Structure 1
Amino acid sequence: MGLPSRSIHLAACALAAGALLTGLVPAAGAAAAPPGATARAAAGPALPNARADDPPPTDDMPDDGFDDEHEGEQDDLVGPGGTPERRAPGTQAAPVPGRPGDFRLAAGSDLSGLVGRLDAALPKQGLTELMEQANRPSGWEGACGNTSIYGPDLAVNHRVCWDGDDLASGEWVPQAITGVSDAQEDEDWGSSNSEPIAVASYDAKNPGRSDQASGRDNCVQASVSDACNEKGVRVSFFNQATQKYRHVLLAWPYVNSKNNISFDALHASEGKCTGTVTPSCKAQNGIHAGGMVWYGNYLYVADTANGMRVFDLRKIMDLNPDNDADRNDPTPDGLESDVKDKKRIGRQNNVWYSFGYRYVMPQVATLKLTTAKNGGTTAGNQCYATGRPKASFLSLDRTGADHLILGEYCNKNNGGTSNGRVGTYPMSAITAAVEGKAGTAAAADSSFGLPTGGTFNGETLWHKTQGALRYDGKWYKRELYSYNMSEVTGDFGS
């Protein structure tokens, strides 16, 4: 199949990820260096004989610098105390004129020193080799059930579904999808013929986790589930050649109180309180990862309240190089790694943990929306016509000059004054911000208000767009509860 059709097909999948993957089911600087980390990083890697009491990340991990604002963007018909706004079927709301300045992104604190220390401490694995290590068999074609779940108008090229435990998982919810068609114009990655597809899922279930003094380190107690910890986001890389996949846990690096490099799941402080809940011990929420774009070596993951977190596929850490989970592996820093303990993460007592995942990919950069919020909190999925947008979904336009598209999911039943907006950025500006100094800005070159239409159970969904893409000058959108995309025939507000 030709490149344009494959690229648009993948972009279409990205928009419908929440629905289609039901069948596939199974920052000032984000993750910024903690105070003093720059000076401490200059001191070099920790010595192998460092004190054997490295604390867990929940003990001393500083906040990562992002707003801790839960914007889960779950499927919701009516907001608390709200009344659905009614419109005649097909009636479109007037688009709000876009303001490109509202979409300005800036690079956060330099993480290169922290990532460099982590790189020196742990073994690495390239994506090509990781694809060769893909170990989870997928379902294929007819094994994935009835095609009618995709709707009558969407032609299915291939059908893929996760392995048994992933398929039935109540912990991990698939949200975003991208792949080598976005990453490379020629759709080849190294010497591999795997043509990888990447799917991001967020941790939606933390049984036993608590902000209260219900037990210190409550998530590592024998009585709690392995799912207790907030693990943030994982990315599943699918090898199309072998029809197998492998999970990679996303992480952010920090220096612990013993001056040792460590990592934790994204925005996942567990909040061990010894009394009244305070901001310093309150358990943080994980991010939603509602959108993801793979471009070149970088993976861009949406963080709803803040902007984007950036990961480098050249920095995938391998905590089990011998592929024998029953035996701890030595690490370059003179310690060892344990991938059987699913309740711990980071460096603890001179052992590296990763919630049981073999592969961990640390955050390497932050792109944070700089515009001030307007109209108050957006925690109820509401949006505002001006001010800081929400980073709800991402897509890539490879027609003409490559552009990244960032847009909002909005629920006006929960308040707010906007149907949602989209902004477009030249990928050259995005890459320059990632690779530049802290504060390097990426400006949007256009933005638009979203017109919509459609109903579900009598509710007009014109304010619930879950994805948008642009291809060869035409815009397409995906609405909540709709498995299909629709072409936008009217003009966006400009």
Structure 2
Amino acid sequence: MAASGMVPTETTPFVLGRATGDLAEAAAKLAGEIGSVPVETVLAQANRTAGTTAGTGAIGDMRPEPSPWYAFDDGDQGTTDWYPQGLTGSDDSGALPAPAFLVSWYFKPEAGERGIRVTFLDPGTLKYRHALLVLADLDGSYRPIDIHAGGIALHGGLLHVADTVRGLRVFDLAGILDLRTAQDDLGDGTRVGRHDGKFHAFGYRYVIPQTDFWRVAQPGPRFSFVSIDRSTETPQLVTGEFRDTDPEGWVARWDLDLAGGEPNDAYVLGHPRIQGAVSRDGRWYLSQGAGSTANGKLLVYEDGTLDTRPYPIGPEDLTVQDGRLWSVTEFRNKRAIFAVPF
């Protein structure tokens, strides 16, 4: 055991301001035209199947191996367009009717930008489906959100998505829109938005408009990952920053309603390449990446000491579900959702 690298720091640089603007109004207008469906409907209409063996290259030399292990299908393993980043689930939400995981992805090519998406996965059936996250406009159309989406956390029906340079975008899962309720087909798979009275979403059936925004002052700290600590008397939202080569990234905790916008506490992480963080029962759990070919590490802090544990290749965001710690791996042919014990 070694001395912890985490040290307290000032909270004022991380203050968030609410910037809802016309987001909620535009999303409601779009929902009134298309019609919304609950999460369970999306899961019931899942069109892809996860496996328990694909993507196992991410395990590398980790022993014992993580379990359970849910790998994305061949198409999602092999694509160089989309990369998974964030992970949350029904335990975070406290409101979903059945167990589920949600995963955020960002579109990597600059040419043909298609924004960000979220995956809904049923761990009981291993069925899953992607939905496109969008910005609704007051004119009744919508457009992709061209950012590097990071970590995610689901509180009730509100999905918080890390926007690297701006803060936290919020999407209300009560407003999942099913294009099939408005028209007979999914439109042109190369287009997005409303064109000539028809809706398009790059071939996706479901779109979810942004409804709220918590922004950090510019220039300001970067937001990379998000989680929820439900082990405290008052649950808290956890978010922080990835830095590639220096240890000066940060992590902070807010009240879940983000009232006042200032975090309750904040820390300098003391390690580079931190991809996700969870606080639980007085401990901090940090996922640390090491590139696309080397195993990462799980760093566990308690009472000022550090315990380093083996972890898969390419670990990202962290979440808690079924009393275990879960993460998602990002690299091509090494993409899976997996659990380890606390």
**Structures share fold, TM-score greater than 0.5:** yes
Partners of 1:246 and 1:199 lie apart in 2 by: 10
The correspondence for 1:420, drawn from 236, 243, 249, is 249
Bigger CA radius of gyration: 1
By how many angstroms is 1:123 displaced? 2.1
By how many angstroms is 1:112 displaced? 2.2
Change (3 A) 1:146 1:367: closer
Superposed, which structure 2 residues align to 1:3-402 within 5 Å?
Answer: 97-108=8-19, 109-139=21-51, 141=52, 143-144=53-54, 146=56, 149=59, 151-153=61-63, 155-184=65-94, 189-190=96-97, 193=98, 195-206=99-110, 209=111, 229-255=112-138, 260-266=139-145, 286-321=146-181, 331=182, 336=183, 338-370=185-217, 372-373=218-219, 388-400=220-232, 401-402=234-235
Bigger shift: 95-104 or 347-356? 95-104
Partners of 1:487 and 1:96 lie apart in 2 by: 14
Contact 2:4 2:301 in 1 (8 A): no
The amino acid of 2:127's aligned partner reads: K
CA distances 1:106-132 after superposition (whole Å, capped 9, x unpaired): 110242221121111112111111111
By how many angstroms is 1:146 displaced? 4.3
Partners of 1:404 and 1:196 lie apart in 2 by: 20
Q: Which residue does the alignment assign to 2:270?
A: 451
Query: Alpha carbon RMSD of aligned pairs, Å?
Result: 2.4
Partners of 2:304 and 2:240 lie apart in 1 by: 16
Contact 1:338 1:356 in 2 (8 A): no
Give the structure with the higher percent helix: 1
Partners of 1:479 and 1:303 lie apart in 2 by: 20
Change (3 A) 1:341 1:154: farther
Partners of 2:270 and 2:59 lie apart in 1 by: 26
By how many angstroms is 1:296 displaced? 0.4
Structure 1 residue ranges, 4+ long, deviating more than 6 angstroms after superposition: 90-94
By how many angstroms is 1:350 displaced? 1.4
Partners of 1:144 and 1:288 lie apart in 2 by: 25
Give the structure with the higher percent strand: 2
Change (3 A) 1:102 1:170: same
State, as a whole percentage, how many aligned pairs show the same letter.
Answer: 30
Q: Helix, strand or coil for the counterpart of 2:137?
A: strand
Contact 1:150 1:483 in 2 (8 A): no
The amino acid of 2:105's aligned partner reads: S
CA distances 1:78-133 after superposition (whole Å, capped 9, x unpaired): xxxxxxxxxxxx99896564111111111102422211211111121111111111
CA distances 1:432-472 after superposition (whole Å, capped 9, x unpaired): x5xxxxxxx322111111123xxxxxxxxxx2222222111
Contact 1:171 1:203 in 2 (8 A): yes
Task: Give me the TM-score of the superposition, normalised by structure 2.
Answer: 0.80
Residues 1:403 and 2:236 aligned together? yes
User: Number of paired residues?
Assistant: 299
Change (3 A) 1:136 1:110: same
By how many angstroms is 1:248 displaced? 0.5
Change (3 A) 1:145 1:291: closer
Q: Which residue does the alignment assign to 1:476?
A: 285
Partners of 2:124 and 2:5 lie apart in 1 by: 46
Change (3 A) 1:396 1:150: farther
The amino acid of 1:166's aligned partner reads: D
Q: Helix, strand or coil for the counterpart of 1:106?
A: strand
Change (3 A) 1:203 1:315: same
Q: Helix, strand or coil for the counterpart of 1:488?
A: strand
Partners of 1:181 and 1:158 lie apart in 2 by: 16
The amino acid of 1:346's aligned partner reads: G
Change (3 A) 1:145 1:111: closer
Contact 1:337 1:352 in 2 (8 A): no
Q: Give structure 2 stretches of 5+ with no counterpart.
A: 306-342
By how many angstroms is 1:252 displaced? 0.6
Partners of 1:362 and 1:469 lie apart in 2 by: 27
Contact 1:408 1:421 in 2 (8 A): yes
Contact 1:124 1:317 in 2 (8 A): yes
Change (3 A) 1:97 1:137: closer
CA distances 1:294-325 after superposition (whole Å, capped 9, x unpaired): 1101000000001010001100000124xxxx
Task: Give me the TM-score of the superposition, normalised by structure 1.
Answer: 0.57
